[in-house]
């Protein structure tokens, strides 16, 4: 049995993402002993890590699947949509960069910072 719950997210944002202002919860799904939270970035754009220029030009999107500590004895996964932005600076060698979620997970990590601490 699969229970799908669409939410306006105040409960999940306060429970899971307390102190992390960079994500919006879109939906929560519970199935087979796993809670999955679908989230996306909230920022209008990001700063290029090389030149520091702000960009809101989206090049692409991809999904990261982050595991977190169990919640109420159920597995907990965050499916995070990450945007890649285009750096518009002509003298910058980096053409695209991913929006950072430093409060949630380290770059390239498959686990949230909470899961890594324990």
CA proximity to 104, closest of 94, 96, 93, 115: 115
pLDDT of residue 71: 65
Looking from the CA of 39 toward its CB, the CA atoms found within 13 Å total 27
Q: How far apart are CA 36 and CA 38, in angstroms?
A: 6
pLDDT of residue 57: 93
pLDDT of residue 69: 72
pLDDT of residue 35: 79
Residue 95 domain boundaries: 2-117
**Distant-in-sequence, close-in-space partners of 111: CB < 8 Å, separation ≥ 6:** 66, 67, 68, 105
Q: How far apart are CA 26 and CA 60, in angstroms?
A: 19
Domain count, the chain: 1
Phi/psi for 50 (5° steps) reads -90, -50
> Residues of the chain whose pLDDT is less than 70?
1-21, 71-72, 114-118
């Amino acid at each position: 049995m699969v229970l799908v719950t669409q939410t306006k997210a105040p409960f999940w944002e306060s429970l899971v993402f307390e102190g992390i202002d960079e994500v919006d919860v879109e939906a929560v799904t519970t199935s087979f002993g796993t809670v999955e939270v679908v989230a996306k970035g909230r920022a209008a754009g990001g700063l290029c890590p090389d030149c520091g220029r702000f960009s809101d030009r989206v090049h692409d999107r991809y999904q990261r699947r982050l595991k977190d500590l169990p919640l109420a004895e159920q597995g907990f996964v965050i499916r995070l949509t990450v945007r890649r932005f285009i750096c518009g600076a002509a003298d910058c060698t980096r053409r695209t960069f991913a929006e950072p979620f430093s409060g949630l997970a380290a770059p390239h990590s498959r686990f949230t910072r909470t899961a890594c601490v324990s």
